[in-house]
Every structure is written in C-alpha cells, then in structure tokens.
Chain A
Amino acid sequence: LTGAAAVLVTTFLASTVEAIEMTIIVLGVGAARGWRSTLTGAAAGFALLAVIVTVAGVAISRIPIGPLRLVIGALLLLFGLQWYRKGIARVAARGLAGMSEMQVEGPPPVSRGIDPTSFVLSFKGVVLEGLEIAIIVVSFGGAAGFTGTAVIGGVAAIVVVGFIGFALRGPVVRIPRSLLQLIVGTLLTSFGTFWALEGLGMTWPQSDLDIAALVVVYAAAALGYIGVERRARRLVWGVA
C-alpha cells in the first residue's frame, strides 16, 4: 500500500482536485479575454511550480526518513483533515455536483502584446491552485520514497483535466470535485496518521495493512457524518 501504485493514485487524485479549478480559471479567462496572454500566464505559473517542486524535492531527499515521516506525516494529517472535513460538508450539502463556471470581469483586453489582466489572472490561478498540490506531491512522494512517481501522478492529473477542459469544453465543471476532495482528504489523513505515528516511534500492529484499516475507519466516519449532516439539513431547512 505504501508502494508506487498508492503514491500514483493519491497524488493523481489530489492533483485532480486542484487541476479542475486551474482549468476552470484558465478556460474562463481565455474565453473572455483571449488565449495568448492567458496561456502565457499559465505557462509562467507552471514554470514557477516546476522550480518549487524541484527545489523542495531535492531538499526533502536529503532528510533522514524517520524525522521526515514524522514532520511530513503530521503536515499531511493536518492538511488532509481540512479536505476531509470540507469534503464531508460539501458532499452532504451538494452531493456529486461539480463547480460553477468562472465569470471574468475587468478592463477590456488590449489588442496588441500581452494583456496584463489575462496574464496575471491565469498565472495566479495556476500558482495558487498548484502550490498546495506541489507541496503534497513532493512531501507524499518523499515520505513514501517515490518522489518521481508522485510527480508523474501530479502532472498526469493536470494533463488529463486540462485535456478534458480544452478539448471537450464543458465536462470539467461536472467532475464531482467535492467527492474527490473527500476521497483525497481520507487518503491524506490515513497516510498522514500512519507516517506521523511511525515517525514517533510507534510500531503499527499489522504494519502496512493498518493504512487500509485507517482508510476504512476514516471513510466510515465520513459516511456517518454525511448522514448526520443531511438529516440535520432536512430537519432545519426541509430540503432533500
């Protein structure tokens, strides 16, 4: 479970969550204000993310695995719990609904050269949505000992979601992002718990099998909370 396949799946799903937002932002800006400056801004954003991943990846590879798993495990646990909680709330409230389209406002685009508004909106969209994923990809891959696989998972998600967004125009907003966020939150919380406690010197009773047990426990708790939230919504708001 701590092997390359688990790293690939987790980083792919985690990156998909943010890649959906990135694609919606870039598509929204590009459609409203023109593609050249928008795509230039997105490319600049990806270049900055690549530098961050490279620098952080090299730095993490030099830290001993014990302390690394404690620190990375704790960080993944704390961050994963945020997605876990928000995923529960959003799935309970909106089910499998996707995201809404982006409306772009601002001054009219310039006819020549680079349009600063398009460039900045696109650049910020890519960097802001990608930064957390860059950290997750590098830390998750580093703690598992599969940094290269983690980077492949992250890049693959951006390519797949980007292709769906640009080539098919539309389906990307229907991807159930809240459910994905809950699944990734559950995975990050489970791996984070496992690695953090291992880093504290604890030996898990069933070794790596306990990661699966943690996933089951956290998933069961999430389903329970979704049920409670939905019942509470029905009682207070009278909605199905």
Chain B
Amino acid sequence: MGAIGRGAVAVVRFVYGFIFGDDWTVAVAVILALFATRFLVVNNLPGWWLVPLVAIVMTGVSLRRMHPAQPQPARSPGVAP
C-alpha cells in the first residue's frame, strides 16, 4: 500500500473513531433517534425528549458492556480518547 493509500486508511479510521468510537451501537441508536425525531417534528408532535433519552439509556447499556465493573487501568498518552 502506498503513502496515499495509508493516508486514506488513516483518515477513514479517524473519521470512524470520531463518529462511532469504540461502541458503534450508541452512535447508530442516536442516529436512528435523530431520524425518529424528524418524523415527530414533521407530524407536529413533541420530539425534544427522544434523543436525550436514547443517549442516556444507550450510555448505560454501553457502560455495562464496556467493563462489567472491572477496574480501569491508568491511561497512557497517545491513545485515542
């Protein structure tokens, strides 16, 4: 793979990490909630509650999946946040 190919892969990895991070299910659920909110808005229904609710619930789900009560090791510099 040439330099351009490696650069493209690095960019794709960065964009994926920025949007999806290490738990893609949270991002997908929030994106679906945004679409559902649009549906509520165009039908003149209150939609402000849906995204915060999904974000908070999915955070809890992800926390449980991330580390079922394992101690966190000290983070070393240079690792993506």
Spell out A's residues near B (CB within 8 Å). Answer: 17-18, 21, 24-25, 28, 74-75, 77-79, 81-86, 88-90, 93-94, 97, 99-100, 102, 124-125, 128-129, 131-132, 135, 181, 189, 193, 196-197, 200-202, 204-205, 210, 214, 217-218, 221, 225, 228-229, 232-233, 235-237, 239
Contact = CB atoms under 8 A, between A and B. Distances in A.
Contacts of B48: 197, 202, 204-205, 210
A200 B37 contact: yes
A229 B63 contact: yes
Interface string B52-81: 100110111011001111111011111011
B52 A229 contact: no
B79 to A, nearest CB: 9
Nearest to B66: A89
B81 A82 contact: yes
- What are the nearest 4 A-B pairs in CB distance? A93-B72, A232-B69, A82-B21, A236-B69
A128 B80 CA distance: 8
A-side interface mostly: helix
* Residue among A78, A97, A201 having the largest count of chain B Cβ atoms under 10 Å: A78
Contacts of A81: 26-27, 30, 55, 58-59
Interface residues of B, number: 41
Given A28-B77, A125-B77, A201-B38, A221 B56 contact: yes
A211 B12 CA distance: 32
Contact of A90 (B14, B34, B75, B77): B75
Contacts of A128: 78, 80
Nearest to B28: A78
A125 B71 contact: no
A100 B38 contact: no
B41 interface: yes
Interface string B20-61: 111100110011001001100110000110011001101110
Contact of B41 (A102, A202, A218): A202
A90 B59 contact: no
